[in-house]
Every structure is written in structure tokens, then in C-alpha cells.
């Protein structure tokens, strides 16, 4: 069933200033294929209450380019991701003007909260959108983009580059490919693990 979506709007300067320390509600549910974990909301994102909301952020184009969405979604259409079994949360909930305003201790505390959230909701993959914060949260200073060996809260961990327009190391085509690599692996792993659990349940039901 289709649901009404909010009409896109732009915040005023006053609304941006008032957005400091605000939070954006998670897009989360059970049985997700991928739960994307951003660093923390920026002021623009917090002001409009939509994940990766700032114009120029390349998250939504990379998501579409990687095959996660059938078309380019706007931040105001984020709730549609849940129908596709994808979700979004943040390591640190409070909004700041810049991610570098967060301390390492704050990121570690956010990582502990995120791990508890992952244990509760059990996504197949939790995808960290930004390698620097993942290195702090995991304690692995040598972590690289891609699938991580250690699990995170019982789910597979995958690291993606920060899609901010300020990250010049990754151009749109490269971001789309890396997002696409995640999608292909996560969809296959989700089908494999859910299929195995279903097969085990059916075996007990028929014996």
C-alpha cells in the first residue's frame, strides 16, 4: 500500500541553528538486509528530520547507483527503504555542524549503543557510512572499505566511504560501485541465512 510522503522543504537559518543536538528518528525494522549507520546528523539533516538530507550529499545517488533503489529517492522518501528491507541509523544521535565536533569517546559510546540496537533488530549487515568512525568504534585502526572480519552485534559489518560531497577521494561512479558490491553480497547472504533458518524450522515442523 502506498503511503503519503512529506513535501520537500528547505529549513531557514533559524531552523538550522536550532537543530544543534537534535536527533533524527531511525528507519529500522526486523529482518533488514542492510542497516546503514551514518556518523551523526548534520544540522540540515536534523532540521528537516530526514537522513542524509543536506543537498550535495551523495548517499542517495550512490544508493540508487548501487542498485538499492529502483529510482533516485529524495531524503523525504527515506521511509520507502523499509519496504525494500533497508534501514538507516546513526552512531551518534545528536546533530552537529561538523562530524569532527564529536569526540572519540562519544563515538565509542555511540558504537556501544549501536551494537545493542543491532543485537535487537538483527539486520544481516550493518554498513558503516564512513571508515574513520568505524576504526574508532571497532578499535581496528587498519580497517579498510568492504566486508569486515569481526561481526558487529552479531551481524556482518561492512564499511563504505563517507558520501559527503567534501570527500573528494571517491567520485560518484566509485561510490556507486562500492555500494553495489555491498548490495550484491548482502542480498545473497540474507537469502542464504534466512533460507537456512527456514529450512531448519521446517525440518523440526515435519519431524
Residue-wise pLDDT for 1-26, tens only, equals: 456 778 899 999 999 999 999 999 99
Residue 200: predicted pLDDT: 41
Residue 119: predicted pLDDT: 98
Closest C-alpha among 193, 187, 189, 194 to residue 67: 187
How would you classify the pairing of strands 146-147 and 156-160? antiparallel
Say yes or no to pLDDT of 82 above 60: yes
Say yes or no to pLDDT of 107 above 70: yes
As a whole number, the mean pLDDT across the chain is 92
Q: What is the mean pLDDT of residues 168-177?
A: 90
Residue 169: predicted pLDDT: 79
Residue 2: predicted pLDDT: 58
Residue 171, C-alpha cell as written in the block:
567520485
Q: What is the mean pLDDT of residues 79-93?
A: 98
Task: Round to whole Å and give the CA distance between 74 and 130.
Answer: 20
Residue 4: predicted pLDDT: 75
Instruction: Count CB atoms within 10 A of the CB of residue 61.
Output: 17
Query: Is-above-0.75 flag for pTM?
Result: yes
Instruction: Count CB atoms within 10 A of the CB of residue 119.
Output: 12
Closest C-alpha among 96, 117, 100 to residue 20: 96
Per cent of the chain over pLDDT 90 is 84
Residue 205: predicted pLDDT: 44
Task: Round to whole Å and give the CA distance between 85 and 83.
Answer: 5
3-state secondary structure (DSSP) of residue 123: coil
Domain 17-205: homologous superfamily in CATH: Uracil-DNA glycosylase-like domain (3.40.470.10)
Beta strands in 68-180 (DSSP E): 86-90, 125-129, 146-147, 156-160
Convert the pLDDT of each residue in 59-81 to its tens digit.
999 999 999 999 999 999 999 99
Instruction: Count CB atoms within 10 A of the CB of residue 93.
Output: 18
Q: Are 124 and 190 in contact (CB under 8 A)?
A: yes
Residue 3: predicted pLDDT: 65
Residue 1: predicted pLDDT: 44
Give the number of residues written for the chain. 207
Closest C-alpha among 90, 157, 91, 148 to residue 124: 157
Amino acid at each position: 500500500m502506498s503511503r503519503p510522503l512529506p513535501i520537500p522543504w528547505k529549513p531557514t537559518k533559524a531552523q538550522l541553528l536550532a537543530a544543534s543536538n537534535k536527533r533524527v528518528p531511525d528507519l529500522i525494522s526486523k529482518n533488514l538486509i542492510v542497516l546503514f549507520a551514518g556518523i551523526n546528523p548534520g544540522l540540515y539533516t536534523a532540521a528537516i528530520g530526514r537522513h542524509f538530507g543536506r543537498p550535495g550529499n551523495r548517499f542517495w545517488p550512490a544508493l540508487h547507483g548501487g542498485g538499492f533503489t529502483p529510482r533516485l529517492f529524495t531524503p523525504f522518501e527515506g521511509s520507502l527503504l523499509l519496504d525494500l528491507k533497508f534501514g538507516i541509523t546513526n552512531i551518534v544521535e545528536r546533530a552537529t555542524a561538523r562530524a569532527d565536533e564529536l569526540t572519540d569517546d562519544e563515538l565509542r559510546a555511540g558504537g556501544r549503543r549501536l551494537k545493542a540496537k543491532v543485537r535487537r533488530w538483527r539486520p544481516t549487515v550493518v554498513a558503516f557510512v564512513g571508515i574513520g568512525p568505524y576504526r574508532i568504534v571497532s578499535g581496528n585502526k587498519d580497517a579498510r572499505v568492504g566486508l569486515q572480519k569481526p561481526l558487529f552485534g552479531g551481524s556482518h559489518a561492512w564499511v563504505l566511504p563517507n558520501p559527503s560531497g567534501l570527500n573528494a577521494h571517491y567520485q560518484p561512479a566509485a561510490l556507486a560501485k562500492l555500494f553495489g558490491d555491498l548490495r550484491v553480497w548482502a542480498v545473497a547472504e540474507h537469502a542464504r541465512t534466512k533460507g537456512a533458518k527456514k529450512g531448519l524450522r521446517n525440518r523440526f515442523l515435519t519431524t
